[in-house]
Amino acid sequence: MSSDGSEFFDPVFYYNQYKLTVYDNLFVGIVYGVYIVLYVASLHVLLSTPGFTSSRPRMFMFGITTFMFALAIVALVLETALGFQQMKLLLDFTDTNVWPLSRISAVFIVVETFRRLMYILSDIVCAWRAVVLWNRDKRVIAVLLLFILGTTAAAGCELGLSVIPIFRPPYDSIPITANSGPLIMVGPTLATNLISTGLIAWKAWQHRVSVRKHLGEGTGSVRVDRVFALLIESGFIYCCLWIVYLISAFNVMPNPRFTVMNNVLLFVSGLYPTLIIILVAMQRSPVKYYSTYSTGMQFAGGPALAPPRAGDMSPYVYTICRENANDSDKQVPSEVLMKTRWGKAPVTFGQ
């Protein structure tokens, strides 16, 4: 029997590993390239906005997206380096230029930590959007905070269980992939995003009902409707990606698809909040209104509308009423505006 290790050579195994590496790098490269473009665009949008330094929400978004982008860069570099070292081991067990086991294990732990931190930060951004739209309602904050804490706890448990094999005998075992850990975190993360997106959808429905009640059919704010639609659609798409990732982990799909989804999802979690910043900012032109009637507050053949009251409207509808009403100073006195709990400015989607 040969002692050079040739009896362990399996051409099919090495071919599959090579194919997996090519697919993985291809998809990760595409997603990361899009991420870079969107991050640069978001920086331009935020930094070119008047009053950027005086706006805490914008500073928060700038800080968290920049931090997530930095984490993604470090994770990409380390995971690429780790992949090269693992391929060396697969191709030649006697290669003396391979990193020592301690370094490979340390890089593996760092990548896994950054991966879960990215997911938590993405959940925070999504939840924060919902909190802003709900005017920082304490009940909404409490519910979302509970789920985020659950996600954080699940991430810690999942990370611990993922790296435990490194410290178990035999200590010469090497983690071949960074996605062999349990899926404890998927449930809380998916629940957090579904609830946050659901709250945003609920607020959008309330807004639409208020518009129809106070302004009639066919009247509303194009900008507000578009931003709501973008927030809801992007949120559900992100949730769908998590569902696909979960399905791929249970051998419903071939294992390579799980590997690719796992690595791509790391960058999608950073791309998602960055994309939202740009999409919302693109709708920041002056509010335009659409109507099936030729005059703003005149409805032929129907009873005259009562003067709008600030107390029973959403901030968006109230703003539209203020800007569309004839002789708005008489119909909606400024002292009424001052008394409403929403204040003078409409919600700005966290920007």
pLDDT the model gives residue 11? 63
pLDDT the model gives residue 223? 64
Mean pLDDT of the chain: 69
pLDDT the model gives residue 98? 66
237-292 pLDDT, tens digit per residue, is: 888 888 888 877 766 555 556 666 777 788 888 888 887 777 666 654 333 333 33
Q: What is the mean pLDDT of residues 309-331?
A: 43
pLDDT the model gives residue 169? 56
**Angle CA(30)–CA(34)–CA(38) in degrees, nearest 5?**
170
User: Residues with Cβ < 8 Å from 291, sequence gap 6 or more?
Assistant: 218, 219
DSSP 306: P
DSSP 294: S
The H helix count followed by the E strand count for the chain is: 10, 2
User: Residues with Cβ < 8 Å from 258, sequence gap 6 or more?
Assistant: 179, 245, 248, 249
pLDDT the model gives residue 326? 42
User: Residues with Cβ < 8 Å from 268, sequence gap 6 or more?
Assistant: 31, 238, 241
Region of poorest pLDDT, from 25-34, 127-136, 287-296: 287-296
Q: Which residues pair with 220 in a beta bridge?
A: 290
Q: Give me the helices (H) in 134-185, please.
A: 138-163
pLDDT the model gives residue 140? 92
Please state the pTM of the whole predicted model. 0.69
pLDDT the model gives residue 351? 43
More confident residue, 30 or 299: 30
Q: Identify the structural domains of the chain with CATH numbers, from first to last.
A: 10-289 (1.20.1070)
pLDDT the model gives residue 56? 78
- Could you tell me the sign of the dihedral formed by the alpha carbons of 89, 95, 100, 106, in that order? negative
* Nearest-angstrom CA–CA distance, 332 and 129: 29
pLDDT at 30 over 50: yes
Q: Which residues pair with 221 in a beta bridge?
A: 289
More confident residue, 265 or 188: 188
* Nearest-angstrom CA–CA distance, 119 and 114: 9
pLDDT the model gives residue 315? 44
Region of poorest pLDDT, from 40-49, 61-70, 282-291: 282-291
Amino acid letter, residue 25? N
More confident residue, 153 or 81: 153
Amino acid letter, residue 125? V
Residue 15 phi/psi, 5-degree rounding, is -65, -45
DSSP 330: H
Q: What is the mean pLDDT of residues 84-99?
A: 66
Q: What percent of the chain has pLDDT over 90?
A: 9
DSSP H/E element including 103: helix 101-133
Q: What is the mean pLDDT of residues 188-200?
A: 91
User: Residues with Cβ < 8 Å from 90, sequence gap 6 or more?
Assistant: 14, 17
Q: Supply the DSSP string of 17-47, one letter for each residue.
A: HHHHHHHHHHHHHHHHHHHHHHHHHHHHHHH
Up-side HSE of residue 165: CA atoms within 13 Å toward CB? 13
Band (25; pLDDT cuts 50, 70, 90) = confident
User: Residues with Cβ < 8 Å from 16, sequence gap 6 or more?
Assistant: 256
pLDDT the model gives residue 143? 94
